[in-house]
Amino acid sequence: IFPEHRGGQAEQALIQVLVFPRLPFTAQMSLTALEGKRLPETHFRILSDVDYDLHLKLALPQGYEGNLHPLLLLVDAVPGSQAVTEEFALGWPQVLSSSHGVALAWVDGRSGVARGQKSPALDPRKLGSLTVKDQMGVVEWLTQLPYIDPRRIALYGKAFGGYLTLKMLAATDRLFKCAAVMAPITDFRLYSESALCSPPAPCA
């Protein structure tokens, strides 16, 4: 990042990235546009059980300690993928956090192949049920935090994440206030072969 000085102060920054195949890419960003923005604070936790770890990424509004915040759990869309990363992103979830005081949560359960497993045997046909159990367990833990409002917990899921969201809603009528689902899986016979195991054996 190279600051661009105008009038004795850095008002903009030039970002030059070497993009494959070695083509220079230059973007100009306004530093003053970042003034007054309140990006959420990101925290990482590992919740350990006997045979596995649950990885949690929690994005909290600045100054979160003094208030109760609604919680939005974002359920990953791909079976076995890694949702908890240190990747920087700005999207609608971050807007909800910075502008409306919403706490955001992502969870990697025991079925996350990107992290490996302590448990030597996981039935791939039951990953959906295991993921639901893991996600709901983390939400139960989050409701005990002094800055999370247990009366305002929402879910969002797309594709496989939408399927898991519906399963979580069906599993309890007391934990979640509302949910938004996009293109959920309703028939695994129509889903990707990599997630179908050995048809016609039922998956998830």
At 73-110, the pLDDT tens digits run 999 878 777 899 888 888 899 989 988 999 999 999 87
The CATH number of the structural domain formed by 41-195 is 3.40.50.1820
Q: Confidence band (pLDDT; 50, 70, 90) for 1?
A: very low
Type of residue numbered 86: E
Question: What long-range pairs does 117-123 form, CB within 8 A, spacing at least 24?
Answer: 117/52, 118/51, 118/52, 118/53, 119/51, 119/52
Tens digit of each residue's pLDDT (9 = 90 or more) over 116-141:
554 444 555 666 788 899 999 999 99
Give Cβ neighbours of residue 185 (< 8 Å, ≥ 6 apart). Answer: 159, 160, 162, 163, 191
- CA 15-16-20 angle, to 5 degrees, is 135
Domain positions in the chain are 2-34, 41-195
Percent helix / strand / coil, the chain, rounded to 5: 25, 35, 40
CA separation, residue 26 to residues 17, 99, 171 (Å):
6, 30, 50
- Asked if residue 99 lies in contact with residue 31, where contact means CB atoms within 8 angstroms, the answer is no
DSSP state letter for 39: P
* Predicted model pTM: 0.75
